[in-house]
Chains A and B, each alone.
Chain A
Amino acid sequence: MDLTHRLGLFPDCSVTLLLFNRVKNAAALRKKAMEGSIEGALINPAMIVDPFQILVAANKAVHLHKIGKMKTRSLYAEIIFSLSPNNNISDAFKKFGISDGDTAVLIVLVVDREKNVNLEDIASQVEGQQVSLDELPQLTDTAKVKKMYKVTPQEEEISTLLDSIVCRMSTKDVL
């Protein structure tokens, strides 16, 4: 039901994705996330086209965390920020984090090999149904994603949406 991946560059780190639909307590979850009382990055699945997008963001966040150069205050905040194509932190939270009225939530966890994280514990805090990540494409708002990442029609002709997005995420520091 969930998807766990080891990061190629940080083999001790594994990233787990949990997807929830029909969520009723998005507002409460968002509050918990801001307080830091829930483990994980709470992300709006409408902005995600593929789990790889999350892995790229997580990889960057973990890297910056390890060298002490994060732009935000926590690893999970950094993952959300890494998803954004621009360098405005609050905009990143608004667009990629969850909003009070959301009915779907994607929770991203990053775990070091030694640590043990209780997935049921986190899932139990969500008033909604945990669903398979296969359902992610149905929740993606492609138009919104294209607008956010400013994907041009010329790009779409020769590349996938995921590739366009990943490029923007990984090179935004240079632009």
Chain B
Amino acid sequence: GISAPVVYFVDYVTNSIYLEDIVDSITVQDHIYSVQRSGNDSSNLLTLAEKMGELLARMHDEDLIHGDLTTSNILIRPPTEKLDLVLIDFGLSFISGLPEDKGVDLYVLEKAFLSTHPDTEMMFKTLLKTYAATSKKSGPVIKKLDEVRLRGRK
């Protein structure tokens, strides 16, 4: 139930994977840049944050750890206004039910978020709020996230 590019063909000889090309999509990263640059109403960004929180909650509830969550690893299908998100780049992914792994997954995104996009603390807060509301297992995960934040690095 997670939106990701369709795998069309796996070539074990050249070790290549042929994936769907999501035409005219933009990364969440580019979208945030463009909204902030245009000085437009950023409440749409909060809705985006909610959608991201929801998507990640569903992913973690399936015990899937992305491993490299950044705003350039989440695409928005056209038309952008619909905020239809697609997760990409699972090169570092693995399966785990551990709140620690999920907490770290979120921490990586938080660091990437705040270092790439200034003034987005509210966005990430909203993302976490929706994550906690959507995920059935969020309690321990958020707790671990707080612990990891205190530890300062992972």
Which residues of A are in contact with B by a Cβ distance under 8 Å?
Answer: 9, 56, 59-60, 63, 67, 152, 154-155, 157-159, 163, 166-167, 170-171, 173-174
Contacts and interface: CB of A to CB of B under 8 A. Distances in A.
A170 B7 contact: yes
A173 B1 contact: no
B9 A56 contact: yes
A63 B1 contact: no
Contacts of B12: 173
Contacts of B20: 163
A59 B9 contact: yes
Contacts of B11: 63
Contacts of A63: 9, 11
A59 B18 CA distance: 12
26 contacts: A9-B9, A9-B18, A56-B8, A59-B8, A59-B9, A63-B11, A67-B13, A152-B1, A154-B1, A155-B1, A157-B1, A158-B1, A158-B2, A158-B3, A159-B3, A166-B8, A167-B6, A167-B7, A170-B7, A170-B8, A170-B9, A170-B10, A171-B7, A171-B10, A173-B12, A174-B10
A159 B10 CA distance: 20
Contacts of A163: 6, 20
A166 B7 contact: yes
B48 to A, nearest CB: 17
A56 B18 CA distance: 11
Interface of B: 1-3, 6-13, 18, 20
Contacts, number: 35
B7 A173 contact: no
A159 to B, nearest CB: 7
A21 B8 CA distance: 29
A174 B17 CA distance: 12
Nearest to B20: A163
Given A154-B1, A158-B3, 16 more contacts: A56-B8, A59-B9, A63-B9, A152-B1, A155-B1, A157-B1, A158-B2, A159-B6, A163-B6, A166-B8, A167-B6, A167-B7, A170-B7, A171-B7, A171-B10, A174-B10
Contacts of B9: 9, 56, 59-60, 63, 170
Contacts of B18: 9
Contacts of B13: 67
